[in-house]
A and B are shown apart, each in its own frame.
Chain A
Amino acid sequence: MKETSIEVPLVETANLADHAADTNGPGLGDAWTGRGGHRRRSRESAIRMIFLLTALFSITALGLILFFLFREGVPIFKVVSLKDFLLGRDWYPTDDPAAFGIFPLIVGSIAVITVSCIGAIPLAVLTAIFIAEIAGPRMKEFLKPVVELLASLPSVVIGFIGMVVVAPFLQRTFDIPTGLNLLNASIMLAIMTIPTICSISEDAMYAVPRELREASLALGATQWETIFRVVLPASLSGIATAVILGISRAIGETMVVLMVAGGAAIVPTSLMDPVRPMPASIAAEMGEAPFQSEHYHALFAIAIVLFLITFAFNMIADQISHKYKQVGSATL
């Protein structure tokens, strides 16, 4: 720990010197690096160009996707009003006349996410606390990769387990008509989001400066007090970001909800009701929707709603991480 704290500034000064050599006027750069300076500068600017082009490319691609999304989604509002689209209770996109009400889909998405958060957030944050603050080095070495391994489980595998293991189990245990329901989807989504939230939260806690803990302990606080009064508040911005990134991942998660949520477009009244979240509808129907039909436009409009919701969540994450940013030991 002590070693790195000495090394880091050293490395940084070295970088600064490099940087100065590259960006200062030609005289100073040449004086510093001799004949190699010119070559080095042109290489630096080439590298800068490559990065600029890469960045421009990704931003353009994203922009085009957005443009396409809106271009394909907006025409549905010639057929159905925004209010009927968002608040309509019937989703029968292929009927004649078709019904494009996505209210049950929105409620389904939000219900699944809410229930899975109730389970996932405490579990994930507590696990993160354990790994970052309590577990010994060997335990930590073991747990961290295990959590990250969980994050890398393909969602189709999780969905499959939900379908063939969890669904019959729920059905037997609670004596309900079907195990493909809101609860099952929430459990599987929680399993998917826990590793994300846990891993990022743990990083955030790990980044809390050691002197904060030392100061707290030196003042006579116990380990618990240190964790809950010092480490947690100090890493709050990181944890909040972790939670919201986990949520936005879960909102967009398609495979799991497609496989285990049941797929009934109803407003759920209990945990055991089947639901049909928005991504499941898009994934299930896009392949069959005739190109540029009303149904096709309606699915893109659902995608817009989904995009706006995840976008809002990411904005909130950004706000929170700025607001609670821990810039130094003194801000606590």
Chain B
Amino acid sequence: MRIRAVIVLMSILAVFAVSGLCAAGSNVVINGSTTVLPIGQKSAELFMKGNQDVNISVSGGGSGNGIKAIIDGTCDIAMSSRFVKDKEIKLACEKGVYLVPHRVAIDCIVPVVHPSNPLNDIDLNTLKGIYTGNVTNWKALGGSDKPIVVISRDTSSGTYEVWQEKVLLKERVMPRALLQASNGAVAQAVAGNPYAIGYVGIGYLNPHLKGLTVNGVVASPATALNGTFPISRALFMFTNGWPEGPAMSYLNYLLSPAGQKMVETEGFVPLY
């Protein structure tokens, strides 16, 4: 008796699994950068509201993970806060995957200090001095006689790569810098330390942080778009070949005026 019950149960489950697989035709799996994650999540929610038959699952894990996933075929769209690297392109070609980049938003990276810090503006050269360990005291910047606590993202993060390229001019961040694993951790560390300096994506600015102007330019969508704010980057979604079906309509939505409006409300800079 019991065995028969188990068999019945199994066959019911099997039917469900098969129907689940059939429905998978309109499944879109998105994976990758935690910087792009808020955009991916919010746009997926909004898109699914208008397209009940499409199921989009979004997860973060880093740009590298996302690109690995799309090369392995375990996701349909990879979010990335950087462009794809040579090594990854080579790997993709070997597996017959042709990566197509879609620029979905722009991100400003803003240097931040504790709100009690009197500093308002900083120039790129001083920032470089601080991050390479040549400027070590707030006194040199007209502040109190206290050591500067330098907070940076991990050297492997996409945000750091942009920072290294645009601020450090390819030099290394000093080893003493406190490396944090996420934008949120940097914000937390700077908010809790009056002598700290860090940098976060513009979406992570909050009242507990004071964003600095760089060379007199305030970070904003306008200054990022016209190129006057010096530290900004494009955020990408990669597909394998030109997207089709639900992935295509999802990306179309994200790049539509409504999608770009959402990008702006999430704290990023829209493309137009």
Q: Could you list which residues of chain A lie within 8 angstroms of chain B, going by C-beta atoms?
A: 90-95, 104, 163-164, 167-168, 171, 177-180, 258-259, 262-266, 274, 276, 280, 283-293, 295-296
Q: Which of A104, A164, A263, A283 contacts B178 (CB 8 A)?
A: A263
Chain B hits for A177, CB < 8 A: 146-147, 149, 193, 195
Chain A hits for B172, CB < 8 A: 92, 95
Q: Which residues of chain B in 35-84 are interfacial with respect to chain A, using CB atoms and an 8 Å cutoff?
A: 61-65, 67-68, 71
Smallest CB–CB gap between B211 and chain A, Å? Answer: 21
Chain A hits for B193, CB < 8 A: 167-168, 171, 177-179
Q: Which of A92, A280, A287 contacts B61 (CB 8 A)?
A: A287
Interface residues on B, range: 35 or more
The SS class assigned to the B binding surface is mixed
Q: Could you list which residues of chain B lie within 8 angstroms of chain A, going by C-beta atoms?
A: 34, 61-65, 67-68, 71, 85, 87-88, 91, 146-147, 149, 154-158, 160-161, 172, 175-181, 185, 188-189, 192-193, 195-196
Smallest CB–CB gap between A108 and chain B, Å? Answer: 11
Smallest CB–CB gap between A91 and chain B, Å? Answer: 8
Chain B hits for A164, CB < 8 A: 188, 192
Smallest CB–CB gap between A229 and chain B, Å? Answer: 48
Chain A hits for B176, CB < 8 A: 264, 266, 274
A289 near B156: Cβ-Cβ < 8 Å: yes
Smallest CB–CB gap between B65 and chain A, Å? Answer: 5
Query: Given A287-B65, A291-B64: A258 and B177 within 8 A (CB)?
Result: no
Chain A hits for B156, CB < 8 A: 93-94, 284-285, 288-289, 295
Chain B hits for A280, CB < 8 A: 181
Chain A hits for B146, CB < 8 A: 177
Nearest A residue to B182 by beta-carbon distance?
A284
**In whole angstroms, what is the CA distance A285 to B175 when docked?**
16
**In whole angstroms, what is the CA distance A287 to B65 when docked?**
5
Nearest B residue to A95 by beta-carbon distance?
B172
- A–B Cβ pairs within 8 angstroms, 21 of them: A92-B172, A93-B155, A95-B155, A163-B189, A168-B192, A177-B195, A179-B193, A180-B189, A263-B178, A263-B180, A284-B154, A284-B181, A285-B155, A285-B156, A288-B154, A288-B156, A288-B157, A289-B64, A291-B67, A291-B71, A292-B91
